[in-house]
Structure 1
Amino acid sequence: MSSATLPRRTFAIISHPDAGKTTLTEKLLLYGGALELAGSITARKNQRATTSDWMELERQRGISISSTVLQFDYDNFRINLLDTPGHNDFSEDTYRVLTAVDAAIMVIDAGKGIEAQTRKLFEVCRRRGVPIFTFMNKCGRPTREPLQLLDDLEKALGIAPFPVNWPLGNGPEFRGVYDRLEKQVHLFERAAKNAQAAPVKVMGIDDPFIVQKIDADVYAKAREEIELLGSLGDSFDQERVQRGEITP
Structure 2
Amino acid sequence: MSAEQLTAGEAAARRRTFAIISHPDAGKTTLTEKLLLMGGAIHLAGEVRARGERRRTQSDWMEIEQKRGISVSTSVMTFDYRKCTFNLLDTPGHEDFSEDTYRTLSAVDSAVMVIDAAKGIEAR
Q: If the length of structure 1 is used for normalisation, what is the TM-score? A: 0.45
Deviation string, structure 1 residues 19-47 (Cα, Å, up to 9, x no partner) = 0100000100111121111011114x446
Q: Deviations over 1:136-188 (max 9, x none)?
A: xxxxxxxxxxxxxxxxxxxxxxxxxxxxxxxxxxxxxxxxxxxxxxxxxxxxx
The structure showing larger relative contact order (alpha-carbon pairs under 8 Å, at least 6 residues apart) is 2
Offset, 1:112:
1.8
| 8 Å contact from structure 1 (residues 12, 81) kept in 2 | yes
SS at match of 2:98: helix
For 1:87, the equivalent position in structure 2 comes to 94
Q: Pick from 23, 30, 44: which aligns with 1:23?
A: 30
One-letter amino acid of the counterpart of residue 73, structure 1? D
Is 1:71 aligned to residue 78 of structure 2?
Answer: yes
Q: SS of the residue aligned with 1:95?
A: helix
Q: Which amino acid aligns with 1:22?
A: T
Q: 1:62 corresponds to which letter in structure 2?
A: G
Structure 1: 5+ residue stretches without partners: 118-248
**1:104-128 C-alpha deviation (Å, 9 max, x unpaired):** 00001122211223xxxxxxxxxxx
Larger Rg belongs to: 1
Q: Whole-Å Cα distance in 2 between the matches of residues 40 and 101 of structure 1? A: 26
Structure 2 gap ranges (5+): none
User: Which residue number corresponds to residue 33 of structure 1?
Assistant: 40
Whether the 8 Å contact between 1:3 and 1:78 is mirrored in structure 2 is: no
Q: Counterpart amino acid of 1:3?
A: A
Secondary structure of the residue aligned to 1:93 is: helix
Q: Which amino acid aligns with 1:51?
A: Q
TM-score w.r.t. length of structure 2: 0.87
Aligned-residue sequence identity (percent) comes to 69
Aligned to 1:3: 3
Whole-angstrom distance in 1 between the partners of 2:110 and 2:95: 21
Task: Identify the match of residue 117 of structure 2 among 104, 110, 114.
Answer: 110
> For structure 1, which segment, 46-55 or 84-93, has the greater mean C-alpha deviation from structure 2 after superposition?
46-55
CA distance in 1, matches of 2:73, 2:58: 13
